[in-house]
Amino acid sequence: MSDINKRGYAHPEVLVSTEWVAQHLDDPNVRIIESNEDPLLYPSGHIPGAVEVDWVRDLNDPLRRDYLDREGFEKLMSRIGVTPDMTIVLYGDKNNWWACYAFWVFQLFGHTNAKIMDGGRLKWEKEGRPMTREVPQYPPTEYRAPERDDSKIRAFRDQVLAHVQAGKPLIDVRSPEEYRGERLHMPDYPNEGALRGGHIPGAVNIPWARAINPEDGTFKPADELRKIYIGEAGIRPEDDVIVYCRIGERSSHTWFVLTYLLGFPKVRNYDGSWTEWGNLVGVPIER
C-alpha cells in the first residue's frame, strides 16, 4: 500500500508518486505533462519524455478572456501525442498549482484519465531524479473531444452573485493581504489586475498552499485537510461551494483538493476571480 493510499483521500487514484512516474517513463500509455508558472523551467530541464503545456499559450483563447474551445483542445492533445484513453500525469512548479489548473481545464473537456504527480517538480528534483533538456516528439494523434462543459465545475459572475445572495459558501484562496484588500496581487508580485481590493461578501479566507506540506510539496493527509476546510472554514461536504483567487489558477488547486482528496461533490472554480469581480461595477465587496 503506497503512502498516498494511507492518507485517507476520497479518490487516491488521482495522485501518483514520483516513484510511480519513474517506473512509467517508458510506458506508451502514459503521457507526462509539465505545466509551470515560470516559462523558463521546462527548457532548463524536465522529466524525461515530459511535454510542456503552457497555461497562456496552450490553454487560453488568444483574444477573448476564455479557455480554448473543443477544436483547440483537440489540436493541443493531438500535438502532444495524447489519445482519449491515455493516462496523463501533470506536474509543475509552485507546488503543482499550475498542474492543477491544467487538470481542471482538461476536465472541462472530459479527459478524466488524468492524475497529478504528488510533490510536483520540487519533490522530483529534491530526490535527485533524472532531468533532461531534450524535447520529445510524439506522433500526432486523432483526438476527438466533446464540447467544453462549463456547467459542473466552472462558475461565472452571475452565478457567483446569486451564490452570495443565497448565503452559500465561498472560499477565497488568496493571501490574507489580498483578502483584506491591502494588495491586488500576491505578495512579492506587482500590484495590478483590479481597481478595487477586498473579497466577495461571505467568503472565508483559506490560502491555497495550506493544503501542502511545505518541505516536499506533497498534499497533506485527509484528516488535516478536513480540519482546515471543515473545522476552520465551516464548509460541509454536502455544500455547494465556489472557490476563487485572482484569475482562477490558485483556486483550481483548492478545487482539486476539495473535489478529489476530500470528495466534495459540488465544487466550482470561479476563474473570473478577483480580476473580474474587483473591476465589476456595482457588485458587493467586503474588507
- pLDDT tens for 124-164 read 999 999 999 999 999 999 999 999 999 999 999 999 999 99
The set of catalytic residues is 245
Q: Decide if domain 4-126 falls under CATH 3.40.250.10.
A: yes
Q: Where are the domains of the chain?
A: 4-126, 157-277
Question: Residue 188: what pLDDT?
Answer: 75
CA dist., res. 163 & res. 242, Å (int): 8
158-214: pLDDT as tens digits: 999 999 999 999 999 999 999 999 988 777 776 667 899 999 999 999 999 999 999
Helix 249-256 to helix 97-108 angle (10° resolution) is 80
SS3 176: helix
Total-model pTM: 0.97
Number of other residues whose CB lies within 10 A of the CB of residue 185:
19
Share in percent of the chain as helix, strand, coil (round to 5): 35, 15, 50
H or E element, residue 245: none
- The fold of the 157-277 domain, in CATH, is Oxidized Rhodanese; domain 1 (3.40.250)
State yes or no: pLDDT of 76 exceeds 80: yes
Residue whose C-alpha cell reads 493531438 in the numeric block: 78
